[in-house]
Structure 1
Amino acid sequence: MAGGKETPRQKMIGMMYLVLTALLALNVSKSILDAFINIESNIQTVNNTEVQRGDEKKSDVGAKQTNGEGNPNKIAVEIFKVMEEIDAETAKKIVLIDKIKLMIFQKCGEDLSPAAEKPICLKDRAQWTLDFANVTKPGLTKNSEPIRPIKMNLNHVAKKDAYDEQMFIMGINESILDVNNKAPGFAVWPAMFEYRKILCDLIVKASVAIDDDGNKYAFKDPNIKKFKDIKDLGVQMEKALDASSVNQDDRGIISNIYRSLTKNEIQPDPHSEGEFRHWVGGTFDHAPSVAAIAALSSLQSEILTARANAMAYLSSKVGGGNYAFNKVIPLAIAAPSVSGGASDTLKVMMAAYDSEKQPEVKIDAGKGTLVDTRDGQAFIAYTAPSGGEMELTGEIGIKDKFGSIKWAKYTTTVKVVEKGGSIALPEVSVFYTDWPNKVTYSASGVVSTSVTCSGCYKSQKNKTWRDADGISYKGDWLYVNRGKRSVSISLQGKDKNGNNITFGKYKYPVKKFPKPEIKTNTLSKSRGGFIDAGLGEAFNFKGIKYRVIGGEILGKGFKGDRIKPASLTRSRPGQKVGVVIFTKRSDTGKEEIIEGVIEIK
């Protein structure tokens, strides 16, 4: 790829290598597009499920608008009116997003005719007439189910990898930060925030309509478009609810719906340090057309899930008895312990509860501490004795529709297990060199535990960390000597009397830390682009990033992580070209050279 003058044989070998890698890259590209098609198909299935879930709750309320004597049920009537308003607003947003999808296909030159040999849009309802030629407002002119998104088969899309067209529709063809808010696709951004506010307002409206005391509730929209993390979003939401005059029973569902429909408007650009991008820019920038469609379907999914959650909550306000329930779960109750070979009876039942109303708990002395109540359940922490059994007792109460609390005693027995221990590697099943191997361990029947490593040159004790899914862990970080094929980990502990107990020795294989790879698949010849590098999808290591500091493409060197158009003058669209990049690993500073192939667009 670079260096001195090559012999004809070297040139031939290089060309063969380039063709081979190009073919491999072509397969990867196709698999990625197929993945987006599968994602879209799965989202469509989820959307249909959410539509049905909301429809069932609405139908339940509709059937209760009159009682057995034919007299109107005021609560059901008022709730059903609000449900009708929710569906009207939901339909507007679903139709809008469908219109944007169709406009992207129009821009790509796709055949949207239902009569096409391979139709993209499929009829899936009684009344279905598609105006596919309308360039300003394509969509269904006859639609018996306006809240159900148009069913599409992305396998029939001809230009699956087109991205310039959808970027134009979404308004990010010139900037991913200063988005063109007049572009037709950008309309989805304010529409999501509008739907968020309307849905919360309608839940409040329902409470006002059925309040016998004449309370006038109101929700003050905080218009949240910026938050540090999920916790910060929750804090902002709680402040907004405190500043509003909403029914206390409505706080949970309003917070849930609002947070589920909230996104950070401006985000850091991971490709350019110190730069930022709009959410629309970050989501749709250089995304293939099928990926853009899947992203829009995902927004429809968020809308339909919020709608179904609102319907379920409103339905819970219309019950037949003194208690309203909106969740049913299976329960299996067995004896706390059974002797080997003995026969026993398992009791199985369905339990119903209201996830929006929290129970009250009175815990007997010494029988635990209440740590949380959420989703209609109470959570009690307790410390088990060193052996034997522990009986946990107390009372739990729930309010009926009239505000009266019904109390019931609860009791359960916990059997303390015998001494034993285990070791787990939460991130990987092997040890790696050049990496802090994170080890968690536990043992029962002892007051302290520790591990030792044979084959490690360093260990850091009592570390805390989170994995890629945000789950917290505590344990040791172990560093393995290079050249080792395996290590042995010993688990030991001390009981309350100070006696040392060894639980066992566990052997693990050792591998070299995986090499990074080039993540960028395509570059625009006219605009160039940024180069990303990182570990493969099979490796789930948190805190590892690779910064591109330079490289070479088509015999021209470049600095940083951006390849300028000037470096691509010798290429042609559709050509697969080899690229070499130099990276620096974030945690160790180690520099590595990576080779790969990129398609020129």
Structure 2
Amino acid sequence: MALSRGQMTRQKMINLMYLVFIAMLALNVSTEVLDGFVLVNDNLQENIEVTAARNKQIYADIDQAYANNREKTQVGFDISRDVRRKTDSLFNYIQYLKQEIAKKSDGANADINNLKSKDNLDASSEVMISPVGGQGNKLKKALDEYRESILTLISDNTKKDVVSKTLSTQPNERAKKDGKSWLQASFDRMPSIAAITFLSELQVNVKQAEGEVLNNLIQDIDIKDMRVNQLSAFVVPQSSMVMRGTTYSAQIIMAAVDTTQRPRIVVNGKELPEDKNGLYEFAATGTGKQTFNGFIEMLDRSGFPLKREFTQEYTVMEPMATVAPLLMDVLYSGIPNQISISVPGVPISEVSATAVDGGTLSALGNGIWVASPSPSKIGQKFVITVSARVNGATQTVARKEFRIRPLPPALAYIDYKDANGNQRKFRKGALSRALILNSPGIKASIDDGILDIQFTVLSFRTYSFDAMGNTTPELSNGANFSQRQIEQIRKMNRGTRFFIGDIKVKGPDGVEQETNPMQVTIN
């Protein structure tokens, strides 16, 4: 019972570790964050090895019990064989998916444990979600079938709930709000190292679900007393990744604890008070990998002290935040610039941001903010500070600078429909007289693949040339062709060239400008 409880608490730690790193992704992640996934994945691999070793020992105990008394243990023995087969099948399939994602990232000779292209955003999508050959639905079906078969073998409702949640393929609340399925939230545009880490977490959950069934079988065939002489000390932190200034929490327990007595726990030379019930807390200070150690002691059935030592590592991170512009690493004066701001492990409601220089910043909701740079600050920096409220205390966790740029020049065009009825933009070259006259006038916009901003055309002139080279200018009616311009164009023959110039436009920033002229040949 106690071993299973430790596994459940450890699972909470693993889930929290994974969620912290997923939150760090935002839109732009650093190499350090990607390397952090490697650390989490390594921890998960260690967890897999530990859990697999425990399960292997329980299988050995069941086998021994079966050899000693087949009649009594036949049912439990048969169930254990079936559970092992199903677990190994699902575990190996997940391992295969991890290798496929690694191959998509690094090539045929990829090494899961030494991934080169950690930030590859396409590998997991191709392997898991691709309409052709995507493995996602197959994995989801396998997890669903395994979960339902395992749940029928666990009698404790609390443990059932834990297994049901850890092997669930339902999207979490955030994914539901974003309209994403479990597969999309887990693998769509996910860095390859993050997808592999998520699959490692699934392997941990599968192994721990297997362990819950085995613990249940042990109780049913009454061999749990054989486990008492194999007691081990465990440190189960709520998270092995903590932010500097926050509180580190961990449960220190011994497997198969006797509820009639409380163990003596000593950490770093200091004994924990009995009323703490094994809860060890301290303030996280220095950053990087840290270690604490100690021992746990209790009396066995003969009254002799039984002592087990432990050592636990944890990692302290600097406070971090992600500030990611939805366009690029610049802000444009005169238009609202949307920015996504989040802090790993902190609810959006507890995150605040302020523009300390360059303009104003306002919240839209759901982590989206609008930055409005001041026109007088063009060429300077827009500075944002991000604060988070953690455990009742507010602290600044990030400072981000952006360059302020003016809007790029607009380009004029004639809006028309091609032979297939598709809307087109003509900027220069040859165009039929009919298409020109069917258009009411000209338009202007920034359309460079990054920005798509419409400008208002105030006026323009058309310039035609007679046989003597004389120029005839005609003025527009605002953004539309004037009647004189229409007559001018109507008289032109195929091959005639004319120019549209003196094009005056106004952008959303209120600034008027003159765009480059257009050369048009009647086709």
TM-score range, shorter chain: 0.3 to 0.5
- Structure label with greater radius of gyration: 2
Larger fraction in helix: 2
Query: TM-score normalized by structure 1?
Result: 0.38
